[in-house]
Amino acid sequence: MILITGATGAIGRSLAGQLRQAGAAFRALVRDEAKGRAMGCDFVVGDFDDPNSIIAALDGADRLFLNSAGAQPVDGEQPMIRQQKTVIDAAREAGITHVVKVSVWHARQGAKLSQGAHGEIEEYLQASGLAWSLLQPAGFMQNFLTPEAFTSDGNLISSYGSTPVAHIDCHDIAACATVLLAGPLAGPLAQEKAFVLTGPEALTDAEVADKVSSALGRPVGRAELPPDSLAAAMRSQGLPPRFADDIAFLVKEVAAGSQATITTTVRDITGRPARTFDDFLAANLQSLRAVAVPPTP
Ligand X SMILES: NC(=O)c1ccc[n+]([C@@H]2O[C@H](COP(=O)([O-])OP(=O)(O)OC[C@H]3O[C@@H](n4cnc5c(N)ncnc54)[C@H](OP(=O)(O)O)[C@@H]3O)[C@@H](O)[C@H]2O)c1
Interface residue list for ligand X (CB under 6 A): 6-12, 31-32, 35, 47-49, 67-70, 83, 102, 104, 114, 137, 139-140, 143, 170
Shortest CB 210 distance to ligand X, Å: 21
CB 201, min distance to ligand X, A:
16
Nearer to ligand X, 47 or 62 (CB): 47
Task: Select 35 or 222, whichever has its Cβ closest to ligand X.
Answer: 35
Please state the closest distance from residue 204 (CB atom) to ligand X, in A: 17
Smallest distance from the beta carbon of 280 to ligand X, in angstroms?
A: 13
Instruction: Assess contact for 178 and 19: CB atoms under 8 A.
Output: yes
Residue 69 C-beta: closest distance to ligand X, Å: 4
SS3 115: helix
Of 11 and 111, the one with the shorter C-beta distance to ligand X is: 11
Rounded to the nearest 5 degrees, what angle is found at the Cα of 246, between the Cα atoms of 258 and 244? 125
Residue whose CB is less far from ligand X, 49 or 278:
49
**Closer to ligand X by Cβ: residue 179 or 184:** 179
d(CA 134, CA 125): 10
Nearer to ligand X among residue 18 and residue 68 (C-beta): 68
CB contact set of 11 (below 8 Å; sequence gap of 6+): 67, 102, 170, 173, 174, 177
Tell whether the torsion through CA atoms of 87, 168, 266 and 104 is positive or negative.
negative
Q: Are 149 and 156 in contact (CB under 8 A)?
A: yes
The CB-of-241 to ligand X minimum distance in angstroms stands at 21
Are 117 and 80 in contact, with CB atoms under 8 Å apart?
yes
- What is the number of the residue whose Cβ is closest to ligand X? 9
32: left (phi over 0), alpha (psi -120 to 50) or beta: beta
CA atoms within 13 A on the CB side of 7: 32
Spell out the alpha helix ranges (H) of the chain.
10-22, 33-39, 51-57, 79-94, 113-126, 170-182, 205-216, 227-236, 241-255, 265-270, 277-283, 285-291
